[in-house]
Structure 1
Amino acid sequence: MSTKSLILINPFSGRYSYEEKLFFWLRFGVLGCFVGHGFWGLVLKKGWVPFFKVFFIDEPIAYNFMPVIGTMDILIGLVVFFYPNRALLLWASFWTLFTAMLRPSASMGMSEFFERAGNYGIPILFLLLHGLPATAKQWFEKLKPLGSVSYMQASVIEWVSRLSLFSLLAGHGGLAVFMNHPTLIKNMTGVGLPMTGVNLHIFGLVEIALAFLVLLKPRIPGLLIFICLYKLGYELLFPIVGNPIDIFETIERMGDYVLPIILFEYYRSKYFNQSRQHTMVPKA
């Protein structure tokens, strides 16, 4: 099957190989994150102002920068989806780590950084799987689905996915347990689930427990599907409780839903069994 025909596929169809589905999910995760994030720059999100103040940029100047950043993000998301290359994946990895780190830098707490592991986990995984190039030209060559997955690449898929899921779940739980995060309280209370006091802490501790399950026992039947649906359901509370345009908050967190799918598909693939056999081979 030609690479051109793989731009838009049904990733749930049995017509496509594991490698082709993986290639789609990675591109789709970057697309959602960057388009969702970029939209807030275009509409001049007031919540971005504290991040500019970290660099002593005044509010009026910050609003001038926002549309530029938003446009850049959307373009990067689209190009990575249609013409993925290592140069843009390197930038995407840096940019998502940088923007996540701005939150604790703006005195919002480290939980905010860890909670955004879905944003930076996807481009990091994408780049690691295709490797650093030997020549400058290869930085800009269009990437294709992997022909096969080596033992090392299989380990990368599993552990980057597991650690990213652990981080985003534990980080979100930390927003409840350590920070009494107002957005979390607003979203849950808005659908009739009051999140204050003990309820808020129990909610956060359950998420942290889920994080440790993913880290230690990710193959519990149904766990990864539950996490995917749970994260999607929670992030849909943004437009349900707030305004319709808040759907871009949901879209921005695309990595949160893609990572459990990637890990679920990996455990169903031949590469997981091959990896297990590789570790069980006795040394001479």
Structure 2
Amino acid sequence: MFGPRSIQSAVSATGSFVLNPSRGLTDLRRAIGRHANDCYATGKATRDGDLTGRTIVVTGASSGIGDAAARLLASRGAELVLVARGLDGLRQTCDDITAAGGTAHPRTADLADPADARRLAAEILEDFGTPDVLVNNAGRSIRRTTLDTVDRFHDYERTMAVNYFGPVALTLGLLPAMVDAGRGQIVNVVTWGVHAGSMPKFGAYHASKSALAAFGRSLDSECTGTGVCVTQVGFPLVRTPMIAPTESYDEAPALTSEQAGAWILRAVLDRPAQLYPRYASILHAVGDISPRAVGRIIGRLGI
């Protein structure tokens, strides 16, 4: 039978933190809040913190995680190519980076359109040469139960277009140049649920991010020895404008955009295979004991 002691057993196996068996779910939620910004990195290869001379492309850079990551990367000397659907917000980010002594170039593209993603890739190569890093950050989130989407197939089409096909098209457009140059990194922003295994009410979103993560893991293996690697960044909840309409998240543990941006910086500097929050590893361990319990736990925890 699955219960608090089983939770503790699974958590102990991760070497994370100790729960009171009589208050398993309560303590787990509190622990998640305390450790929301803690992450596990696998395949770590520490690098120098100076990014001077490196060109980094960041999609979804006009606000939230992308904006925060761009500012941090620029502060380390990187030249930024910042991408968003429109110039609103994007110009402000670029202007702020320039005012602080950095370099940032705005580019617009609708990454839900693979043809536009390929056009963007060609433009980047023409204008800036082979980038050192591509951060596939742009994304779309939809929170609905599957029963609430039976007449909304477009929810699945839209999330796959933005979260999977767009990043794949942009990656394919830049990858050959990276391999030829013998250097490069693809950073895919996915979600902690890819590692934990279940995200109730996020079926469309979870499926699209899982697809991107699977693509990235395969590509990382295929690129062994080429100088190119792929890093998966599985964020927990991040307090951005995208989650504002969901009132149930008002009190939920969440990263700030600045904390999330620091994860992106760490991914670029250390080039790990993946970055995930500690509690994703905990829930993954719980899932090994009782896969269906993970969904119930996540639902009750409100994360």
TM-score w.r.t. the length of structure 2 is: 0.30
Identify the structure with the greater helix proportion.
1
Whichever structure has more strand as a proportion of its residues is: 2
